Amino acid sequence: MQGHLSAWLVKHGIVHRSLGFDYQGIETLQIKPEDWHSIAVILYVYGYNYLRSQCAYDVAPGGLLASVYHLTRIEYSLDQPEEVCIKVFAPRQNPRIPSIFWVWKSADFQERESYDMLGISYDNHPRLKRILMPESWIGWPLRKDYIAPNFYEIQDAH
């Protein structure tokens, strides 16, 4: 079943794939990485002016990685804000997705965490570096094929 936003995007010739609705009735759309930045700008102009959250997950061991964006259209005349969930899938070998930091500044730390935990590179992010793990850490701890080291070294402990 196609939702309101998906129908609007189809009407305007914007390529995407409808993934239906989640358990709360929020429309979920799949966007290709190469189309994500331009569609993000379109959604912002259309009124999705608030990035509620961004996260990422490993779809399956050896499979795709997903970056997920929850957007909200906040208007003063609406009692119930419209929400949409955007999923952008990237290949595991070289996961690259355009950063939407320049559209929604609140993506800053959220994209950095997704980079740090899953290794997704967000192109044109102003400060893409580890945020939770030390810069020297090897690997991406939230990938399903990650092998945790059996030792932990505390450096510069006092």
Q: How far apart are CA 32 and CA 35, in angstroms?
A: 5
pLDDT digits 0-9 by tens, 123-146: 999 999 999 999 988 999 999 999
pTM > 0.85: yes or no: yes
**Residue 106 has what pLDDT?**
95
Q: Count of CB atoms within 10 A of residue 156's CB?
A: 4
**Residue 35 has what pLDDT?**
96
- State the average pLDDT over residues 139-158: 75
* Domains, the chain, ordered by start: 4-94 (3.30.460.80)
**Residue 154 has what pLDDT?**
57
Residue 27 confidence (pLDDT) above 80: yes
Residue 158 confidence (pLDDT) above 50: no
pLDDT digits 0-9 by tens, 78-125: 677 889 999 999 999 999 999 999 999 999 999 999 999 999 999 999
Which amino acid appears at position 148 of this protein? A
**Residue 155 has what pLDDT?**
53
- Cα 25 to chain centroid distance, Å, stands at 20
pLDDT digits 0-9 by tens, 29-76: 999 999 999 999 999 999 999 999 999 999 999 999 999 999 999 877
- State the average pLDDT over residues 15-32: 94
CA-closest candidate to residue 2, choices 87, 16, 12: 16
Q: How far apart are CA 50 and CA 40, in angstroms?
A: 11
Q: How far apart are CA 78 and CA 118, in angstroms?
A: 37
**Residue 74 has what pLDDT?**
85
